[in-house]
Amino acid sequence: MIVRKDDQYAVECFAKVSEICIQKGEYCDSEEEAIQWVEYECWIFSGEGWICIDCHDTFMGNMVKMRKIRGSDGIEGPKKPEGHDGLDGDLEVGIDIVR
Ligand SMILES: [Zn+2]
């Protein structure tokens, strides 16, 4: 989760799903400062690692899309009544052509 380079520490983004993901936070002198940096940048701790705000937005956007796809299904129109009412012979009656 935390990458180290030349005695500097940076928190790495756990998700990296966003096209504009910055991949990792700024390098700091200690792990604590690196975590403070991502907290300040509003990164979200998922339980497994830190996720940058851009990846978090991408995740949330995908979830909203999924919900929309699911919601468009399962709508049934009213059922047509079965059987005849004996009106078959009266179809021509009532059709009025306006001249
Ligand atoms: Zn990210």
Residue 51 CA to ligand 1 center (angstroms) comes to 6
Residue 42 CA to ligand 1 center (angstroms) comes to 12
- Considering only residues 72 and 97, tell me which one the structure prediction assigns the higher pLDDT: 97
| pLDDT value of position 11 | 98
| pLDDT value of position 69 | 72
CA torsion sign, 12 to 13 to 15 to 17?
negative
Residue 71 CA to ligand 1 center (angstroms) comes to 29
What pLDDT, in 10s, does the model give residues 33-69?
A: 999 999 999 999 999 999 999 999 998 888 888 777 7
CA dist list (Å): 60 to 3, 38, 67, 79? 26, 19, 11, 38
